[in-house]
Amino acid sequence: MRLRFEIVVSLKDGLLDPQGKAIQGALPTLGWENVSDVRVGKHIELVVEAESEAEARSHVEEMSRTFLSNPVIEDFRVLSSEEASAS
Amino acid sequence: MRLRFEIVVSLKDGLLDPQGKAIQGALPTLGWENVSDVRVGKHIELVVEAESEAEARSHVEEMSRTFLSNPVIEDFRVLSSEEASAS
């Protein structure tokens, strides 16, 4: 089966996020005064071919840990899975 | 009320995604042969102060459309909202 996963990779809490700070600094000049705590991360979408959903999910978690994120400074979350249409 | 939102900004379908292609090209050399359709986007987390959830969400959607995404080449989705703790 082919399953589509979404992964969010974000900087660990407490680490300085320059991209988020840049967005937050720009928002007031555009009229948005009511926004705070902006953090920017990566969103990765991929399709995994596997025997079962559990197997696919464990592949995605291992990939995220070893390749898609830097575990020293980043956390990841696997958001969702859904059956992908054959292509 | 303070609400935390998550926004995903991704390239429109059909547009070339060099970052996704790079990841997809690297995965087989690391032993992952069963992955396809890799797309990379941005994940933005922010806290909005507003009177109601509907008002906050409309602010977030306008911000996403006018500032956080490039509507010519990107789509955005507002993923979730939850009450943010006071800070």
ipTM of the complex model: 0.87
Q: pLDDT for A2-60, tens place per residue?
A: 999 999 999 999 999 999 999 999 999 988 999 999 999 999 999 999 999 999 999 99
Residues 6+ apart with CB under 8 A from A84: A2, A3, A4, A47, B37
**What are the backbone dihedrals phi and psi of residue A63, each rounded to the nearest 5 degrees, phi first?**
-60, -45
Cα three-residue angle B27-B31-B33, rounded to 5 degrees: 65
Q: Is A21 on the interface with B (CB under 8 A)?
A: no
Give the start-to-end residue ranges of the domains of chain B. Answer: 2-83
Question: If residue A58 lies in a helix (H) or strand (E), which one and from where to where?
Answer: helix A53-63
Residues of chain B found within 8 Å of residue A35, distances taken between Cβ atoms: 46-49, 59, 63
pTM: 0.88
Give the CA distances from residue B83 to residues B52, B79, B80, in Å, rounded to whole numbers and listed in that order. 11, 14, 10
Q: Is domain B2-83 classified as CATH 3.30.1280.10?
A: yes
CB pairs under 8 A between A and B: 110
* Domain A2-14+41-83 homologous superfamily, CATH: Phosphoribosylformylglycinamidine synthase subunit PurS (3.30.1280.10)
